[in-house]
Amino acid sequence: MDIKKSFPIIINLIILLLTSSCFLGNNSDVLVVKTITVNSSLLPKSDSSNAYLLLTNPTSRNILIPEVTINSQSRSLITTRNSYPYPITPTTTLPRRLDKPPRTRENSIDISNRTRDINPQDSYSQGDLESFFVLVGSEVDENNNSVMTYSNTTFKLVSLTNKINNTTINLHIWVDVKDLDILSIDAVEFLKSNFSGIYNDMTNLYGDYWGEHNYENLIEKDNSDFHILLMDIGYDKNIDKDNRGVIYGYFDSYDTYIDKEGSNKALNVVLDSYLLFNRADSSKGWSEESIETIYGLSTFIHEFQHLIHFYQKRIKNKITLTSTNDETYVNEMFSMIAEDILAYNYLIASDESDTYFFPPDLQRIPIYNQDWIEHSTLNWNYDISSYSRAYVVGAYLIRNFDSFIKEYFTTGTLGINGLLEAINKNSTFNIDRTTLLQNLGLAILYSRETNTSRPQQLNSNSFLEYSNFNLIQLDFFSNYIPSFKPLDVAQIKDIANSNGINFYKESNIYINLGEISSSDTIKIEFANDGSGIEYRLVYY
C-alpha cells in the first residue's frame, strides 16, 4: 500500500484533564487524555482510510502512554490490526561494529611498560620493524565500565608509498608481526590502491585531516606521514566466534600529542586484521569483493573521518568540548554517513551469485527497526543501538539537506545544536530538534514511496545525491530483516508488563491505527504531563 504523502497534518486536538491516582511522579494526580477527531475532508478516500499515528516527543522528559483507543474500544477488540510479537527477534545475524570505547587513561591503561615512542620525523624503509602502543583488548568490569588493555606491539612495515598517487601523503601500512600469517598481501595492496580515492573524496567532503595549527605539543602541521596499523584487536582468531569482540578499528587523538607518555606521536588509524580483510571461510581465499574486505574498507572510511573531525573541530577551529555524549553522537554520525556517501564508489560486495552495495544501512537499519521504541532517538549511550539511531538520523539528513558537513566544522557549537546550525545556513527549511524528529518520522513512514520530496525523502526512483555522490535508496519497510513495523493499537498496553509505552525524550512513536473514518475518535492517554507532544495522522 502506498502512503499518501499529502496528509501529514495536525488534526483537531482537544485536551481533557481527568483525575487519577494510579500513576507515579510529581504529576501522579493527573491523567492527560488527548483526543484526535478525524477530518473527513482530509481522508484520501471518501469514507475511510488506513492511517498511521506519528507521535513526537521533543521534550527533555520521558512520558508514559498507558493506552491508545479508537472510539473508546478496549485493546482486546482491536486485535486484527497488523499485530506482531514484541520485541522483534532478528532472523539473521546483524553485522555490528564499534569503535574502541572512550578511555580514561589514568584508570584503564597501564603505561608502565611503554619503552619506545615512534618519532613522526623518522624515515622508514619497507620491512622495518617498529613498536606501537596499541589497544589489544577490552572488557567490561563489574560496574559496566569499559576497561582496555594497551601494550607495546611490534609491527612490520609491509608497504610504503611516498606521495601516493600524486598526493602529499607518505602512506605506511604496518602489520602486527604475530598476524603476518593471516593477512594476504593482496589485502594490503587493495587497501593501498583505494587509499588515494578515499583520501581525496573524504578531504573534499570533510576537509583536511591535518594541517595548520599553533599548538607546540601536537604533531607538526606539515607532517606528511600517515600510518595504517593492521592487527588482530582482541586476538579474535584464538576466541570462539560467538565471544569475539566488536572493535573493528579505532582512531585515538591521544597519538597526535608529542608530549604525552604512551602516545605513538603519529597520525594513524588501527584496523582489525583478522575480522577485516580476511575471509571467514579461509578455504575461499582473499577476495576484494568479500564482505570482510568491504567491512575493512568501510571501517577505514569510518575511522579516517574521526581523525578529520578531531583536527577540523577541535584543533583548526578550536572548539572546546562541552557536551561529550551529544558531540559523540554527531561525530559517530559523520563517520557512518561518510560510509554511506562513499558506498556507491567503494563498498561493493559479492556473494558469488550477486553483486550488491554494502553501505552501513544494512548494518544499522535492522537494529533500528528492532528497537526504535526502546531508546531516545537523539541520545548516545555507547552501545550498538546508539550507532543505529545516529546513522538513521544522519542518513535522513544527507538525503534531505545539502552542504552541512563542512559547515558544521566552522560553527562554534558542538553536537546536535551545532549540526542544526550548520544545516540551516544553506537550507530553505528551518529545522530544529522538534522538526528534525517530525520529518525523520514522516520520512520513515513514507520510505516505501519513490515520489517523496524534501524534507521527508529517503527513497526515490533514482539515486538521491549528496554533493554529487550517489546515495542508496532506503525503504525501511521492505529492504531489511527485521522490517520496520509501527506498533499496533492492540499492543500498547501489552508492552512493558501492561504498564504502557515509555515514550522517551526526543523520540518518535509510530502507531498503526488500521482503518479509520471521519466518525472515529482517537484518544491517547498520558500518565504524566503530555504537553509538548506533536501529532501527525498519515494516511496510506
Complete DSSP assignment for 410-422:
HSS--HHHHHHHH
| Helix or strand (DSSP H, E) at 13 | strand 13-19
**Res. 18 pLDDT band, cuts 50 70 90:** very low
Q: Mind spelling out the 3-state secondary structure of 438-496?
A: HHHHHHHHCCCCCCCCCCCCCCCCCCEEECCEEECCCCCCCCCCCCCCCEEHHHHHHCC
Give the strands of the sheet with 521-526, arranged side by side. Answer: 13-19, 30-37, 521-526, 68-70
Separation between Cα atoms, residue 500 and residue 32, nearest integer Å? 14
- For 201-252, what is each residue's pLDDT tens digit? 999 999 999 999 999 999 999 999 999 999 998 777 766 555 555 688 999 9
Phi then psi dihedrals of residue 130, to 5 deg: -150, 150
Are 354 and 278 within one domain?
Answer: no
Query: For residue 456, is pLDDT > 70?
Result: yes
**The predicted structure's pLDDT at residue 23:** 28
User: Is residue 260 helix, strand or coil?
Assistant: coil
336-348 in b/e burial notation, b at 16+ Cβ within 10 A? Answer: bbbbbbbbbebbb
Confidence at residue 323, expressed as pLDDT on a 0 to 100 scale:
59
When pLDDT is cut at 50, 70 and 90, the band that residue 411 belongs to is: confident
What string of DSSP letters covers 151-171? EEEEEEEEEEETTGGGSS-EE
What is the rounded average pLDDT of the residues 402-422?
93
DSSP codes, 511-534: EEEEEEETT-EEEEEESS--TT-E
Among the listed residues 433, 423, 455, 444, the one whose alpha carbon sits nearest the alpha carbon of residue 534: 433
DSSP 8-class letter at 98: B
The verdict on 359 and 284 lying in the same domain is: no
Q: Is the same domain home to 417 and 328?
A: yes
Is residue 375 located within the same domain as residue 255? no
Residue 143 pLDDT > 80: no
User: Over 70: is that where the pLDDT of 8 sits?
Assistant: no
Banded pLDDT at 477 (limits 50, 70, 90): very high
Residues 87 and 235: beta-carbon distance below 8 Å: no
Residue 7 lies in a domain: no
Do residue 251 and residue 291 come from a single domain?
yes
Give the tens place of pLDDT for each residue, 163-206.
Answer: 988 888 999 999 999 999 888 889 999 999 999 999 999 999 99
- Is 540 contained in some domain? no
The confidence score (pLDDT) of residue 502 equals 87
**How large is the average pLDDT for residues 366-395?**
94
- 283 and 421: one domain? no
Mean pLDDT over residues 70-93, rounded? 40
> In this predicted structure, what is the pLDDT of residue 243?
56
Mean pLDDT of the chain: 81
Domain end call among 259, 285, 317: 317
Q: Pick the most confident of 90-104, 235-249, 521-535.
A: 521-535
- Res. 33 pLDDT band, cuts 50 70 90: confident
Same domain, 343 and 481: yes
pLDDT mean over 287-305: 88
Instruction: Answer yes or no: is pLDDT of 516 > 80.
Output: yes
d(CA 132, CA 229): 9
Q: Out of 182-186, 261-265, 503-507, which region has the weakest mean confidence (pLDDT)?
A: 182-186
Kindly report whether the peptide bond that precedes residue 455 is cis, defined as omega within 30 degrees of 0: yes
- Residue 378 domain-assigned (yes or no): yes
Query: 189 in a domain, yes or no?
Result: yes
Q: How far apart are CA 148 and CA 208, in angstroms?
A: 30
* 34 inside domain: no
Strands 348-350 and 268-272: unpaired
Q: Using DSSP, state whether 134 is helix, strand or coil.
A: strand
Q: Note the pLDDT of residue 86.
A: 29
Indicate the range of 13-27, 448-462, 498-512 predicted with least confidence: 13-27
Q: Is residue 58 within 8 Å of residue 503, measured between CB atoms?
A: no
φ, ψ for residue 535 (rounded to 5)? -130, 140
Q: Which of 147-156, 358-367, 450-459 has the weakest average pLDDT?
A: 358-367
Domain boundary pick from 252, 284, 317? 317
Q: Quick check: is 306 in a domain?
A: yes
pLDDT digits (tens, 9 = 90+) for 328-344: 999 999 999 999 999 98
Predicted confidence band of residue 44 (pLDDT cuts 50, 70, 90): confident
In this predicted structure, what is the pLDDT of residue 520?
87
In a domain, 333, yes or no: yes
The DSSP code for 320 is P
Counting residues of the chain whose pLDDT is more than 90, the rounded percentage is 50
Instruction: Give the pLDDT confidence score for residue 423 in this predicted structure.
Output: 97
Q: What whole-number distance in Å separates Cα of residue 1 and Cα of residue 133?
A: 56
**Structural domains in the chain (count):** 2
Taking each helix axis from N to C end, the angle separating 361-371 and 384-398, rounded to the nearest 10 degrees, works out to: 110
CB burial of 59-93 (b: ≥16 within 10 Å; e: otherwise) equals beeebbbbbbbbeeeebeebeebebeeeebeeeee
Separation between Cα atoms, residue 307 and residue 269, nearest integer Å: 8
pLDDT of 304 above 80 = yes
Domain boundary among 317, 348, 368: 317
pLDDT at res. 239: 63
- 290 shares a domain with 186: yes
Q: Which residue has the higher pLDDT, 485 or 235?
A: 485
pLDDT in tens, 238-261: 665 555 556 889 999 999 999 998
The answer to whether residue 27 is domain-embedded is: no
**If phi over 0 gives left and psi between -120 and 50 gives alpha, with beta otherwise, what is residue 265?**
left
- Report pLDDT for 105: 35
Q: What is the mean pLDDT of residues 140-155?
A: 80
Helix, strand or coil for residue 331?
Answer: helix
Asked if residue 378 and residue 271 are part of one domain, the reply reads: no
Segments forming the whole domain that contains residue 431: 319-513
Residues 369 and 451 both lie in one domain: yes
Same domain (yes/no): 305, 354: no
What's residue 358's pLDDT?
56
One domain for residues 313 and 334 = no
- Beta carbons of 90 and 239 less than 8 angstroms apart: no
Alpha carbon distance 394, 340 (integer Å): 9
